């Protein structure tokens, strides 16, 4: 297995609080990822907080669990069900304010996978997230 790293940064015209609100809500992630996303377990604090679980995808869906969240700062999640042959999948979104009253999101995903599959999945994720983030501004 090889380790892969996918990074996408996107600037937004809206302030950090609005960008964070949009991306911390599981129901909005379908627009970003281009596949069905549904919250299946509430977290704390709030339904999309730590411990919340979302199902991502169709028949071969994975489940991701939010493992850390600091409002308007960061969201960490990991795959907790499905996802083979990916291993050790971890995602992190970092939010920061820009001088023009806008915001920036830096999305980092790391995972282990067999070489050919990992490169393919990494490339698809980078393109899909890059395109999808543009849909929420």
**Residue-level pLDDT at 39:** 94
Per-residue pLDDT reduced to its tens digit, 73-108: 999 999 999 999 999 999 999 999 999 999 999 999
Strands (E), 13-137: 37-41, 53-56, 62-70, 74-81, 87-97, 103-113
Q: Reply yes or no on whether the pLDDT at 137 is more than 90.
A: no
**Rounded mean pLDDT, 39-61:** 91
Q: 120 Cβ partners below 8 Å, 6+ apart? A: none
C-alpha distance from residue 6 to each of 46, 102, 130 (Å): 28, 23, 11
**Residue-level pLDDT at 8:** 97
**Residue-level pLDDT at 6:** 97
Q: Under DSSP, is residue 57 helix (H, G, I), strand (E, B) or coil? A: coil
Give the domain CATH number at 62.
3.30.530.20
Q: Containing domain of residue 22, as a range?
A: 2-133
Cα radius of gyration rounded to whole Å, the chain: 14
Per-residue pLDDT reduced to its tens digit, 20-41: 999 999 988 998 888 999 999 9
Per-residue pLDDT reduced to its tens digit, 2-19: 999 999 999 999 999 999
pTM beyond 0.85: yes
Q: How many domains does the chain have?
A: 1
């Amino acid at each position: 297995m090889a380790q892969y790293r996918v990074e996408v940064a996107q600037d937004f015209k809206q302030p950090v609080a609005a960008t964070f609100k949009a991306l911390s809500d599981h129901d909005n992630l379908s627009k970003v990822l281009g596949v069905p996303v549904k919250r299946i377990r509430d977290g704390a604090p709030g339904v999309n907080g730590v411990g919340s679980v979302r199902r991502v995808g169709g028949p071969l869906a994975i489940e991701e669990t939010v493992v850390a969240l600091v409002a308007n700062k960061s969201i960490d999640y990991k795959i907790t069900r499905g996802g083979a042959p990916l291993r050790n999948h971890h995602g992190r979104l970092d939010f920061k304010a820009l001088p023009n009253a806008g915001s920036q999101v830096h999305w980092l995903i790391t995972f282990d996978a067999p070489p050919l599959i990992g490169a393919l999945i990494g490339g698809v994720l980078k393109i899909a997230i890059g395109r999808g983030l543009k849909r929420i501004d």
